[in-house]
Amino acid sequence: MTGRVEEGFSDAAYRRIRGDLILGRLAPGAKLGLEGLRPVYGAGVATLREALNRLASEGLVLAEGQRGFAVAPVSVEDFREVAALRLLLEGHAIQASFAAGDLDWEGEVVGAHHKLAMIERRLLAGQAADAALWKRYDRDFHHVLIAACGSATLLEAYAAAYDRYLRYQMVAVVFRGAVAADQHAALLDCALRRDPAAACAILAAHVDGCVAHVAATGALDGFTPSPRRHPAPASAESASERAYRLIRGDLLRGILAPGQKLRLEALRDRYGAGISTLREVLSRLTVEQFIVAEGQRGFEVAPLSAANLHEVASLRLLLETHALEQAFHAGDLEWEARVIAAHHRLAQMQDRLRAGDAAALDQWRRLDAQFHQALISACGSRTLMATHAATFDRYLRYQNIALGFRGDIAVREHQALLDAALRRDAAAARQVLAGHIGGGVDQALASAAIEGARPLGPRARRA
């Protein structure tokens, strides 16, 4: 019974702290001392550590090792990156949602806009209005616009990016008046006309205008942290980081099997970590979608499904092709050298696999990931890189469990990606990458590893 109560406290503390972070009630850069948080959130130290580690995985909190936790800082540069990611995801989802949305979806869009428009009118008239309620209605409207896109994975990624964007809006107290209200009305009109091209153009002006407003007003200047003069000294790996690394690795390799129940007592013996440490780690891994938190029933490894594989692969393709375009435009000679070096290492391992050296498979997968990361490393956005890396690892889990080395096909595709990078031919790279990822999905689905795998249910999607 005690464990169930702790799970309830943990979820409640997580939700309350997360809400205060997004709404700007916890100031950027503020230290989050556990003892100070205890009376505010009515939770114990272990519960708070679990919640803060989970929030660190979402980029809302910084885990500073032995120094504890702090609210993630803000900067105009980071805001631009977060806004660009939001724009990429929302624009892509709008196209799918406008094509698939039915009459019920239209009704939800109209209803969401009505609530937002009413509170915007009050603000424009100078009447008292709850800023948090206004932003909630703003958030609801944009989420409903893309609700018919058909991909739970895309919606999850968008929700995470939007909440980071929303934190900036709340910290900088952004309301652009009639301009924003008119753009919301125009988005509604585009939705009812099913005109995604016009909607994406309006959305770009909407998001870019907000970023420009924040930059022009200097609303974030007082929060921007000064750079450290000296890098922090490397510290020994903590018990929590070691357990996280080991469990995450076993999840990616399929050693912890899809659907497997994760008993804390068994994990304690296997990974040499305490129960509270394991709860912290598993909570972090729920954010990364590798673990499903089943409320009072504990944790289990996220299942595999054909539908989820398609969604993860599609999100990876969207992020990687966008990042490739940016990297091809900005990449310099140093970037070219990184790409060539990464491809050389990958090619050597591919030669070993083609020669029948099955022991090279794990190293090939690692070098495959490094090559794709090198290709996009000049994209100029740490936020985009981090989101791609998280999505790539979810794809990699399928690859490890259900997809082997595709031989000459994969070799040719990697060589074609290298050639396109050196020619700065983004269109060719996009075409090759689509075939590369699509071929991997087809082979994975043809294997027995995903046969009978149950699809992700509503509980798993919310975890």
- At residue 459, the pLDDT reads 37
Mean residue pLDDT across the chain? 88
Q: DSSP 3-state assignment of 453?
A: coil
* Single-letter code of the amino acid located at 305: S
CA-to-CA distance for 342 and 345, rounded, in angstroms?
Answer: 5
Encoded tokens for 281: 């780690």
In terms of domains, do 26 and 135 share one? no
Confidence of residue 446 (pLDDT cuts 50, 70, 90): confident
Specify which of 175-179, 292-296, 392-396 reaches the highest per-range mean pLDDT: 392-396
- At residue 101, the pLDDT reads 97
In terms of domains, do 269 and 288 share one? yes
CATH, residue 12: 1.10.10.10
CATH, residue 274: 1.10.10
Q: Look-up: residue for tokens 């609801």?
A: 140
Q: What is the mean pLDDT of residues 46-68?
A: 86
Confidence of residue 8 (pLDDT cuts 50, 70, 90): low
- At residue 226, the pLDDT reads 47
Q: How does pLDDT run across 87-122, given as a tens digit for each residue?
A: 999 999 999 999 999 999 999 999 999 999 999 999
Q: Which residues pair with 31 in a beta bridge?
A: 70
- At residue 276, the pLDDT reads 87
| 223, part of any domain | no
On the CB side of 115, CA atoms within 13 Å amount to: 17
CA-to-CA distance for 455 and 226, rounded, in angstroms?
Answer: 47
pLDDT at 233 over 60: no
* Single-letter code of the amino acid located at 91: G
| 451, part of any domain | no
Q: How does pLDDT run across 159-215, given as a tens digit for each residue?
A: 999 999 999 988 887 677 899 999 999 999 999 999 999 999 999 999 999 999 999
CA-to-CA distance for 395 and 34, rounded, in angstroms?
Answer: 36
- At residue 229, the pLDDT reads 41
In terms of domains, do 15 and 109 share one? no
In terms of domains, do 169 and 252 share one? no
Q: Which residues pair with 292 in a beta bridge?
A: 300
Identify the residue with better confidence: 236 or 273: 273
In terms of domains, do 359 and 401 share one? yes
Specify which of 198-202, 226-230, 263-267, 306-310 reaches the highest per-range mean pLDDT: 198-202
- b/e per residue, 287-297, with b = 16+ CB within 10 A? bebbbbbbeee
Lowest mean pLDDT among 285-289, 359-363, 403-407, 453-457: 453-457
Confidence of residue 453 (pLDDT cuts 50, 70, 90): very low
- At residue 2, the pLDDT reads 41
In terms of domains, do 122 and 186 share one? yes
Point out the domain boundary residue: 250, 276, 299: 299
CA-to-CA distance for 459 and 98, rounded, in angstroms?
Answer: 26
Residue 335: domain span: 306-446
Lowest mean pLDDT among 53-57, 428-432, 449-453: 449-453
| 338, part of any domain | yes
Domain count, the chain: 4
Model pTM above 0.75: yes
In terms of domains, do 338 and 430 share one? yes
| 228, part of any domain | no
CATH, residue 88: 1.20.120.530
pLDDT at 451 over 70: no
CA-to-CA distance for 461 and 290, rounded, in angstroms?
Answer: 11
Specify which of 48-62, 350-364, 427-441 reaches the highest per-range mean pLDDT: 427-441
Q: How does pLDDT run across 115-125, given as a tens digit for each residue?
A: 999 999 998 88
In terms of domains, do 99 and 158 share one? yes
In terms of domains, do 372 and 317 share one? yes
| 452, part of any domain | no
Closest listed residue to residue 176, CA positions, set 128, 136, 221, 138: 138
